[in-house]
C-alpha cells in the first residue's frame, strides 16, 4: 500500500545489493538516467506521487552522507516496511550506520503497513 500524501495505485518494490566502484553521486546520476529511460520526468511529477519507476539508494556500505541531493542512509528507511522487509531478506544483520541499531529490530517495532510479498499476490 503506497505511503504519502498523494493517492496512487499499489506498486511492486524490491531491494538489490551489489558492489559499485565509484562514488554515490555517480550512482545517483546513473539511477536517474535509468529512471528517465523508463519515462520518469522528475520536473513534471508531483513529489511522492505516481511515477513510472523510482530507484532509491538506501545504503552505500556503512557510508553516512547528508547533502542537498543525496542522503545515505535514505531518510525514510526506518519508517517503511516496504523497504525493510526485502532489505532484511538480503541482509538480515543489516544495521543503521548512525546508531548501529539492527534494522530487524526497527522493522519489528513498526506496525503492519500492508506489505505483501509478490509471490503471495500471484498465488505462489
Q: Is 6 exposed, middle or buried (0-12, 13-18, 19+ CB in 10 A)?
A: exposed
Catalytic residue among 10, 23, 40, 41: 40
42 is catalytic: no
Q: Is 54 a catalytic residue?
A: yes
- Straight-line distance from the first to the last Cα atom of the chain, in angstroms, rounded to the nearest whole number: 20
Distance separating alpha carbons of residues 40 and 37, to the nearest angstrom: 7
Q: Which of 51, 93, 104, 112 is catalytic?
A: 51
Contact between 101 and 73 (Cβ < 8 Å): no
Please identify which of the residues 10, 22, 41, 56 carries the catalytic annotation: 56
DSSP, collapsed to helix, strand or coil, labels residue 45 as: coil
From 42, 54, 104, 112, active-site residue = 54
**Is 10 in the active site?**
no
In 21-122, which ranges are E strands?
A: 65-66, 71-72
Positions annotated as catalytic residues are 40, 51, 54, 56
Amino acid at each position: 500500500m503506497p505511503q504519502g500524501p498523494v493517492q496512487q495505485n499499489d506498486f511492486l518494490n524490491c531491494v538489490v545489493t551489489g558492489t559499485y566502484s565509484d562514488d554515490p553521486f555517480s550512482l545517483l546520476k546513473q539511477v536517474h538516467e535509468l529512471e528517465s529511460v523508463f519515462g520518469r520526468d522528475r520536473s513534471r511529477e508531483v513529489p511522492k506521487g505516481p511515477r513510472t519507476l523510482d530507484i532509491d539508494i538506501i545504503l552505500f556500505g556503512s557510508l553516512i552522507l547528508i547533502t542537498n541531493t543525496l542522503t545515505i542512509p535514505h531518510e525514510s528507511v526506518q519508517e517503511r516496511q516496504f523497504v525493510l522487509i526485502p532489505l532484511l531478506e538480503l541482509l538480515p544483520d543489516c544495521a543503521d550506520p548512525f546508531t548501529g541499531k539492527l534494522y530487524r529490530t526497527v522493522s519489528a517495532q513498526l506496525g503492519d503497513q500492508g506489505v505483501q510479498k509478490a509471490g503471495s499476490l500471484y498465488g505462489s
